[in-house]
Amino acid sequence: MMPGGITELCLTAEALQLSVALVTALQVLRLFLVMFLAEPLFKLWNRNHA
């Protein structure tokens, strides 16, 4: 199993007759969370383990 991108997950949602809008919104939320939390979490982890 490999994670897919937003496009692949939306196409899969459409094929499974699921809410493409919901899948897109959740994937964009996941993208923003990773972008904005990765650096602060790494700095916190690095400070505690350095």
d(CA 5, CA 34): 14
pTM above 0.85, yes or no: no
Phi, psi of 17 (to 5 degrees): 55, 45
Per-residue pLDDT band for 40 (boundaries 50, 70, 90) equals very high
Tokens, residue 21: 């809008």
SS (H, E, C) the chain: CCCCCHHHHHHHHHHCCCCHHHHHHHHHHHHHHHHHHHHHHHHHHHHHHC
| pLDDT band of 45, cuts 50, 70, 90 | very high
pLDDT in tens, 6-15: 888 889 999 9
What's the confidence (pLDDT) of residue 7?
Answer: 86
